[in-house]
Amino acid sequence: MAQLIDSSHRPIRYLRISVTDRCNFRCIYCQPSEGIKLLNRDEILKYEEIISVARAAAELGITKIRLTGGEPLVRANLPELISELAKINGIDDISLTTNGMLLSQYAAELLKAGLKRVNISLDSLNPDKFEKITRTGKLNQVLAGIEVAKKVGLNPVKINVVAMRGINDDEILDFARLTMNDGWHIRFIELMPFGSENPPEEHNIGALAKSQQFLSVQEIKDKIGAKSFIIKNFNVCYQAVFEFLDLARIINSAVDKLFAEFIFCDIVRFKHDLIKPVKKLYLISIAYCI
């Protein structure tokens, strides 16, 4: 059987599928306040077409599928798609990236359909700031969605935080503490170059961005390391993700070190009608409280 491999001859087993370009948020780093020009509905793949692609991908060695958008939960009957994907031989993990606004409504149904876990975008713990960033979102609804997801068993719940200077950088420690106190898995993500208020021309790929809102992984590390963590083996890369994992629940004790390792993650992105491989460098950091 043929298998998908990357340029370094490593097998590709992870497929991301964007099921819609529609979203109920208008995040300041993603799109203008009036929204974007949407595809015609007949240009969006039908569920039957997505399932056909997933079956073909499974025959090439894909074992994990992540559904994204836009906001995937605004597309009607998403649990039905998940249920059909879960029946595909070889697919053993289905996950979802969401802004969480509709999650409390659908979490139980998604789990029953075959969803394993969720990633939730959450850039502020302050209701007013959250509404300013998302323009339309309500923090209480997202937090409720997180709690329902944890309650029904969509674990681990991972939280994606886009770090922005002058906007939410004062909350970095608050998010980091949640890994120890509430068992959240927090991932800080560098600001990416798109959106009318964050145009590509203000970024230098491979170097620090010119955008005044850009906050590097190194700076995030410095903010946390200066307070309550010791950081070792830390490097900076573009589009890196800084992730805290709470081990206190596992080891039930406190030690005084942190270690980190780099993992290359090869993903195939499938957006509407486009398939292309994407390689990201994730920084997986396991944090111990001191």
Instruction: Give the torsion sign (CA, 31, 32, 34, 39).
Output: negative
pLDDT tens track for 68-119: 999 999 999 999 999 999 999 999 999 999 999 999 999 999 999 999 999 9
pTM of the model: 0.76
Name the CATH topology of 14-287: TIM Barrel (3.20.20)
Nearest to 172 by CA among 98, 237, 99, 225: 225
pLDDT score of 249 more than 50 = no
For 77, left (φ over 0), alpha (ψ -120 to 50), or beta? left
Using the structure block, give the residue that is written with the tokens 């190194």.
218
Q: Residue range 218-232: average pLDDT? A: 63
- Let me know: does 97 contact 66? Beta carbons within 8 Å: yes
Instruction: Give the dihedral of Cα atoms 214, 220, 226, 229; nearest 10 deg.
Output: 180
- Which whole-number Å values give the CA distances from 73 to 85, 103, 188, 202, in the listed order? 16, 8, 23, 32
Please state, for a pLDDT cut of 90, what percent of the chain lies above it: 49
**Residue 113 Cα to chain centre, angstroms:** 21
Q: 109 versus 9: which is more confidently predicted?
A: 109
Radius of gyration of the chain (CA): 19
Q: Residue range 12-38: average pLDDT? A: 90
Domain spans, the chain: 14-287
Cα–Cα distance measured from residue 91 to residue 287, given in angstroms and rounded to the nearest whole number? 31
Cα–Cα distance measured from residue 93 to residue 13, given in angstroms and rounded to the nearest whole number? 10
pLDDT value at residue 205: 42
pLDDT score of 194 more than 90 = no
Q: Residue range 32-37: average pLDDT? A: 84
